[in-house]
Amino acid sequence: MKLHEYQSRELLERFGVPVPGGDVADNGQEAKSIAERFGGAVVVKAQVLMGGRGKAGGVKLVSSAEEAGVFTQELIGKTLKSIQNPQGMVVERVLVAERIDIESEFYVAVLLDRSEQKDVFMISARGGMDIEEVAAESPEAIAKLHVDPKWGLCDYEIRAALVQANIDSRARGQMLQIIHKLYRAYRESDATMIEINPCALTTDGKVVAADAKIALDENALFRHSEYAAVADDSAEDPLEAEAARRGIAYVKLDGDVGVIGNGAGLVMLTLDEVARAGRKAANFLDVGGGAQADRVRDCVELVLMDKSVKALLINIFGGITRGDEVAKGVVEAIHQLGVKLPIVVRVEGTNAEQAKAILAEANLIPAGSVQEAASKVAELIA
Ligand code: GDP
Ligand code: MN
């Protein structure tokens, strides 16, 4: 689960990592009054969960509160697109942060290195908006510091990594402290990644986190009531956010076949069969075990909110889930929502016969196997 920059900053502040002053706004007026609090010279930053935001025009240094207000008004509602996110994301809020005079920009991140089975810090003196190119063209400019799970982080190791990374000697002492704080923040928040880019050395010799990206492990959210509000606001896709509110396991994909199944394994198999039939799934949706009609109805409704869906494939294996309940849910959804898209259904297992009878009355397309269902869907869309 990714946090917005303004949320990441709050988290870092709690662990004592220095960040420039700032606040979040969702309209020009509000942005203007925040900017006034910081003397007018601020940076306005779109709060979108995507990389390449600066290059996409989502970050602007301004010199007056009026300018901050005007730029915010322009930015809100706009779709920003970047190489990392070609579909783009709509800006709903901006961060208005105190503008700092940057002398140099460093990169520091901590995440899990699965192959080494250790947490790793990545540190570079070549931070800023081109870090992807640095990583691709001169990977030696990024120092790696693995954390020994027995001993934790030792000062001498951090110092050696800072030297290897070519960090300005004036910044090393502060960077050492920041790295310790980042590691505490990472461990205690159950983060999967913290990235500070840039970690800025200002002209008056201070090191501050001028941008921050944090991802938390959503499986650990139950231990962090302090992040409950954050969770609601952090889905990258509006439909995924809606699914989270309804308690449905849903992942948005980029094809055009809506897929509903019960059980993650069965859904994955269905995605494979859709791919084999030459189409791509628009989503991954697991109705879960023992689903009742109204839950199935909810799931159908959710998938159909996705405008890229051209046909629906429902694949149910009745175990604890009763086939007739699923069939009732599907039929209810079709009537309530006035669905016009073709729907192919395959039901096997508990009460499959009753299910088939219910579905037959509702003009759905039956399929005897997953393969047959996938190829029928592919034909219907082609
Ligand atoms: P990103 O493109 O999403 O990574 O956005 P950042 O928040 O990292 O901002 C992009 C770039 O804008 C940074 O690398 C800095 O060069 C510049 N920038 C951001 N905030 C400030 C600031 O307060 N002062 C100055 N001088 N530059 C800034
Ligand atoms: Mn950045």
If asked whether residues 266 and 365 sit together in one domain, one would say: yes
Nearest-ligand number for the alpha carbon of 94: 1
Residue 228, pLDDT score: 75
Q: How is the beta sheet containing 311-318 ordered, strand by strand?
A: 249-252, 283-286, 257-261, 311-318, 343-349, 365-366
- pLDDT the model gives residue 369: 94
Tell me which of 98, 122, 156 is where a domain ends: 98
CA within 13 Å, CB half, 241: 11
Residue 314 domain flag: yes
Secondary structure of residue 285 in the 3-state scheme: strand
> Phi then psi for 156, rounded to 5 degrees?
-65, -35
Q: Atom 23 of ligand 1 has which residue's CA nearest to it?
A: 99
Q: Is residue 9 part of a domain?
A: no
Q: Are residues 72 and 126 in the same domain?
A: no
Domain presence at residue 3: no
Residues 257 and 375 in one domain: yes
Number of domain units in the chain: 3
Query: Is there a single domain that holds both residue 366 and residue 283?
Result: yes
> Which residue type is seen at 283?
N
- 75 HSE (CA, 13 A, CB side): 29
Residue 277 and residue 376 share a domain: yes
> Do residues 93 and 24 make contact, with C-beta atoms less than 8 angstroms apart?
yes
- Of ligand 1's listed atoms, the one at least distance from the Cα of 42 is 23
Rounded to two decimals, what is the model's pTM? Answer: 0.75
Q: What is the DSSP code (8-state) at residue 359?
A: H
Structural domain harbouring 315: 237-380
In the chain, the amino acid numbered 80 is L
In this structure, is residue 261 part of a structural domain?
yes
189 is a domain residue:
yes
DSSP state of 119: E
Q: Of the candidates 67, 98, 129, which is a domain's last residue?
A: 98
CATH number at residue 166: 3.30.470.20
CB atoms within 10 A of CB 347: 27
Q: Quick one: pLDDT at residue 88?
A: 86
- In angstroms, rounded to a whole number, what is the distance separating the alpha carbons of residues 193 and 99? 26
> Where residue 67 sits, what CATH number does that domain have?
3.30.1490.20
Q: Output the CA 346–ligand 1 centroid distance in Å.
A: 52
Q: What is the pLDDT of residue 95?
A: 98
- Name the active-site residue from 5, 98, 105, 195: 195
Report pLDDT for 233. 62
Q: Is 246 helix (H, G, I), strand (E, B) or coil?
A: helix
Same domain, yes or no: 292 and 341: yes
User: Whose C-alpha lies nearest to ligand 1, atom 24?
Assistant: 100
In a domain, 191, yes or no: yes
Specify whether 258 is located in the same domain as 138.
Answer: no
Q: Are 196 and 109 in contact (CB under 8 A)?
A: yes
pLDDT tens-place values along the chain, 382 residues long: 889 999 999 999 999 999 999 999 999 999 999 999 999 999 999 999 988 999 999 999 999 999 999 999 999 999 999 988 887 889 999 999 999 999 999 999 999 999 999 999 999 999 998 899 999 999 999 999 999 999 999 999 999 999 999 999 999 999 999 999 999 999 999 999 999 999 999 999 999 999 999 999 988 988 988 887 776 666 567 788 788 888 888 999 999 999 999 889 999 999 999 999 999 999 999 988 777 888 888 999 999 999 999 999 999 988 888 888 888 888 988 888 888 899 999 999 989 899 889 988 887 898 999 999 999 999 999 8
184 and 294: one domain? Answer: no
Gap from CA of 206 to ligand 2 centroid (Å): 18
340 falls within a domain: yes
Q: For position 266, which CATH number holds?
A: 3.40.50.261
Of the residues 44, 78, 98, which one is the last residue of a structural domain? Answer: 98
**Rounded Cα gap, residues 293 and 30, in angstroms:** 45
| pLDDT computed for residue 232 by the predictor | 61
Kindly state whether residue 4 falls inside one of the protein's structural domains: no
Of the bound ligands, which one is closest to the alpha carbon of residue 210?
Answer: 1
Query: Residue 159 Cα, ligand 2 centroid: separation in angstroms?
Result: 24
> What is the structure's pLDDT at 235?
59
57 and 120 assigned to the same domain: no
**71 and 201 belong to one structural domain:** no
Among residues 5, 67, 105, 107, which one is catalytic? 107
One domain, residues 224 and 265 = no
DSSP 2: B
> Atom 14 in ligand 1: which residue has the minimum CA distance?
128
To the query of whether residue 107 is one of the catalytic residues in this protein, the response is yes
Question: Has 250 been annotated as catalytic?
Answer: no
Ligand 2: centre distance to CA 38 (Å): 21
- Is residue 255 domain-shared with residue 337, that is, in the same domain? yes
